[in-house]
Structure 1
Amino acid sequence: MDGKPITERELFIRIRARLKAAVGEDVFNSWFARLDLEEIVDDLAHLSVPTRFLCSWIQSNYAEKILDAFKAEFADVARLHFTVRINGQARPRLAPLPESAAEPQAGTSPPTSRPARESVAAPPRADALSGGALDPKMTFDSFVAGAPNEIALGVARQVAHAALNNTVSFNPVYIHSTVGLGKSHLLNAIAWAAGAGDASRSIVYLTADHFMYHFITAVQRQSALAFKEWLRRVDLLLIDDMQFLQGKSATEFGHTLGTLLTGAKQVVVAGDSPPRDLDMLDERVRSRLSGGLVVPITGFDLDLRRAIVTRRAEQASTRFAGVHFPPAVIDYISRVVISHGRDLDGAVNRLVAANQLTHEPITVALAERTLADLVRSREAKRIRIEDILRIVSRHYKVPRNDLLSSRRSRDVVRPRQIAMYLAKSLTSRSLPEIGRRFGGRDHTTVLHSVRKVEQLMKDDGDLAQEIELLKRMLEE
């Protein structure tokens, strides 16, 4: 080599080539094609992917291979951190590049031991520590109201109005529902209505992933105290996807929540289950959340689905020439796409794309062809670990707390192993996540349980049938 440092972009091209050679082109295209290198800070490589499932799968199955590829090209990297890109961006970054460091001074040469960082514009002030990017499309005006979400919407509006006037309402607020029913939309809408565009207001929106990322990075940089002080000075804190908060970050959230509530600062949290089911949180934190205003959003009924499709169709008609959704098509989408709001948006977008690309009128026949997989997906129920614990506990007559405990008696161990096997088989949770949900166990314990049950099913036909019965019970 000529001693000229390679850029991080060039380094990652080499690493991708190593990964493709190691896993084969098919596997590479399936799992690594959308993997990006965001930055390298000290010995930590920050990587991002577009979906939470992809992030979990890569961490669980390929983290070691990726780290090996990094070490082969750049020995300084000893750790990896994965995040999910929000609106195409991975935030927060570990270390925004100071302008003075973007290029070497005249007459000097950059160090050859590290990849040269390419010149990057400094992020605006609001992004330095404000966490996830807000979506400008998620406002109260674009939120479609109906019976399943009208209480949550009313509470969100009141919280935003109070925050705009520097007061507090219903503190803390906890909104919960299954995926795609509007929790993130409401949190974004609260932020915008409370004055997110006003630099004088301290409004922080963070996903649980970003909260953990901030905290872990602060600890690694020995600036945890500054991070805590910054977070506790906010006027409005919004935390999304609370179910993904784990480990010491969950403890830190508990401390932050207590401090903010004591100081009469507004906190709004969203998760996929009620506070009592957030096993990773301390009992006192769950109690604090439960002691606030807990607001569920229930599954969308036909009227709300029709209202959403009608609104999206009207928006599409104003944006694209020749797009028209007949009432029969709106009715068809509303009846057959019943999973969640994002699929309703996706259904409208697909039909618009089909119309624009083929110039075929939007009809029920076109909808049947274009939305076939969405219609099939309505039969697939989203299974949670909490559902598995409940069904296994009831089937084997073992208390749920025993399944999460350290008890080693056979009447507890076998149902616990089966529950872990079902969690791995029927959910997208990673082994470490499953271990945490089962009383803080190591991922190797989960892997041992999964392999044990798989072997037992091969050797014992009755057990195999029993587990199939449990799967059917969970999928009903």
Structure 2
Amino acid sequence: MAINDDECWSRVKGRLRSNVGEDVYSSWFARMDLERVSDGAAHMSVPTRFLKSWIQSHYADCVLSCWQAEVPTLQRVDLTVRSPIRQAALMKEGKVPAEDLRGDRNVTRPLSAVRVNGMPTADSADAFGPSPLDPRLTFESFVVGRSNTLAHAAAKQVAEGRRGDPVMFNPLYVHAGVGLGKTHLLQAVTFAGNASGQRKVLYLTAEKFMYGFVQALKSQTALAFKETLRGIDVLVIDDLQFLQGKSTQAEFCHTLNALIDSGRQVVIAADRPPSDLESLDDRVRSRLAGGLVVEMGSLGEELRLEILKSRVAAVRVHHHGFDVPHAVLEYLAKSITHNGRDLEGAINRLLAHNTLSGQPVTLDMAEREVRDLIRPQEPKRVKIEDIQRVVARQYNVSRSDLLSSRRTANVVRPRQVAMYLSKTLTLRSLPEIGRRFGGRDHTTVLHAVRKIEALVGKDPVLADEVELLKRQLQE
């Protein structure tokens, strides 16, 4: 490995440490090593499969952005598990501690501190253990704004419930894009519920649920796995969009039904509404949609400013001399619009610069340090429901007409236009679009798309109508 690769990796580690904080860096990145940089990729290695899976699931974008800040031409980061021979060589070089050779059990120590009342202690071999919790993610540190008020209120009500109380919203389903606070709310529910001592609350990612189920099948303890889950008072599942496998989904469906039917609370988070989880079984989607479905919207500028102030206040508890002028906070709130994690990363960078260089935080320094976090505004995410509503209004028909089996000319054309827009403006598949238009076959959708494409090319009036609809939907 060339010396410049070593130096580059050293700078990337510094960026990672600034972005995620010292505790997170020590837990998940301290054992990551650079193998080589070649063919537009940084080839990294870690000692265990668990660590590889966790970093890929939770920090892949963060690692890549830190690399690209140093090597703009880098296209990807490849993460592998080190062989025992390579691991031993690194140990001799003093790059990793000797205990890493013991495998997964070492890197999962942070899990052992997390215990659910009455539940076994967790480690990597324990199918019943909870997913790790971040002690900073509590209701006290959650900043409430217009985009998340309803989700916060519903989560708070769940957390304050007692065993035997009637369950109002079941399941509570929260969906939002990346970095908008879903995981924060779910972990806050878990912390508050367990702290009260009134109920057993178990927090699992979808990945950990799948892992636990597969391990239980392998060890022939599936019945104990099911009984443990169904003995929980509040089951909290994060990142449901990652739930895969027919048998795992079937078990999740049975567990969901058993808990809801017995009056136990279920709280779920995902990056999209239940109707858009195409990989899930129809029965699961239907059950999820039957509860309270709450969307957490994007962070407005006022809310971003409050989040920044909250983060600075939290940092000042340990770094009393850290001060960020209000003008800098306003600049960050106005410029960093993508998600809350970027806001936290910005504060971490300012803190690192301030503590390591001893220089005060200024507007010039902030502009320099966070320039890669200022991303172009993403286009509005268009939903099929929005398309149906706008098209129905444009052609003076009802949304139910678009979903019906009516074949009159004044309904067929708007329906085809709506299907065409659904295919061109969303990422939904043809079968999913057909399902959202009254359960039609995907071939019907394909016919509509091709029909409108052909007509737009030779009918200027229709072409203008379609462009107008697109502008209305994307404004």
* TM-score (norm. length: structure 1): 0.60
Deviation at 1:52, TM superposition (A): 4.5
SS at 1:319 equivalent: coil
- Give the Å deviation of 1:33: 2.0
Secondary structure of the 2:44 match is coil
* Distance in 1 (alpha carbons) for counterparts of 2:334 and 2:79: 45
C-alpha distance in 2 between matches for 1:120 and 1:217? 15
- Take 2:351 and 2:315, find their aligned partners in 1: how far apart are those partners? 7
Letter in 2 for 1:254: C
1:126 to 111, 121, 128: 121
CA displacement at 1:217 relative to structure 2: 2.0
C-alpha displacement of 1:219: 2.1
Q: What residue is the counterpart of 1:227 in the other structure?
A: 225
Secondary structure of 1:339 counterpart:
coil
* Residue type of the alignment partner of 1:174: Y
Aligned residues of 2:47 and 2:103 also touching (Cα < 8 A): no
- Partner AA of 1:279 in structure 2: E
Could you say what secondary structure the match of 1:33 adopts? strand
Map 1:37-436; keep pairs closer than 5 Å.
37-38=48-49, 49-52=55-58, 54=60, 117=102, 124=112, 125-127=120-122, 128=126, 129-163=128-162, 165-170=163-168, 171-195=170-194, 201-248=199-246, 249-377=248-376, 379-380=377-378
What is the match of residue 9 of structure 1? Answer: none
Pairwise CA distance, 1:187: 0.5
CA distance, structure 1, for counterparts of residue 313 and residue 259 of structure 2? 42
Contact 1:278 1:286 in 2 (8 A): yes
C-alpha contact 1:176 1:296 (8 A) present in aligned 2: yes
2:453 aligned residue: none
Q: 1:168 to 1:339 in 2, by over 3 A?
A: farther
Is the 1:251–1:281 contact (alpha carbons within 8 Å) kept by the matching residues of 2? no
Local SS of the residue matching 1:295: strand
The Cα shift of 1:222 comes to 2.9
TM-score normalised to structure 2 length = 0.60
Secondary structure in structure 1 of the residue aligned to 2:293:
strand
Q: CA 1:210–1:119 in structure 2 vs 1: closer, same or farther (change >3 Å)?
A: closer
Shift of 1:302: 1.5
Q: Is the partner of 1:195 in helix, strand or coil? A: helix
Query: 5+ residue gaps in structure 2?
Result: 1-30, 64-75, 87-99, 113-119, 392-401, 404-418, 435-456, 458-466
**CA separation in 2, counterparts of 1:331 and 1:346?**
16
Q: 1:375 to 1:119 in 2, by over 3 A?
A: closer
Asked whether 1:36 is paired with 2:34, we answer: no
Cα deviation, residue 206, structure 1: 0.7
Contact 2:151 2:295 in 1 (8 A): yes
Deviation at 1:297, TM superposition (A): 0.7
8 Å CA contact 2:48, 2:103 repeated in 1: no
Mapped partners of 2:223, 2:52: distance in 1: 23
The answer for the alignment partner of 1:407 in structure 2 is none
Inter-CA distance 474–208: structure 2 relative to 1 (3 Å threshold): farther
Distance 2:335 2:153 in 1: 28
Contact 1:196 1:203 in 2 (8 A): no
User: How far apart in 2 are the matches of 1:149 and 1:330?
Assistant: 21
Q: Any conservation in 2 of the 1:236–1:266 contact (CA below 8 Å)?
A: yes
Count of residues in correspondence between the two structures: 347
Unpaired segments of 5 or more residues in structure 1?
1-12, 40-44, 74-114, 401-414, 424-433, 440-461, 463-468
Q: Following the alignment from structure 1 to structure 2, what is the Cα–Cα distance between the partners of residues 145 and 197? A: 22
Given that 1:181 and 1:297 are in contact with CA atoms closer than 8 Å, whether structure 2 keeps it comes out as yes
Q: CA RMSD in A?
A: 4.9
Q: Structure 1 residues 225, 475: CA separation in 2 closer, same or farther (over 3 Å shift)?
A: farther
Question: Deviation string for 1:395-438 (max 9, x for gaps)?
Answer: xxxx99xxxxxxxxxxxxxx99xx89x97xxxxxxxxxx99999
The share of aligned pairs that are identical, in percent, is 37
Q: 1:237 to 1:70 in 2, by over 3 A?
A: same
SS at match of 2:173: strand
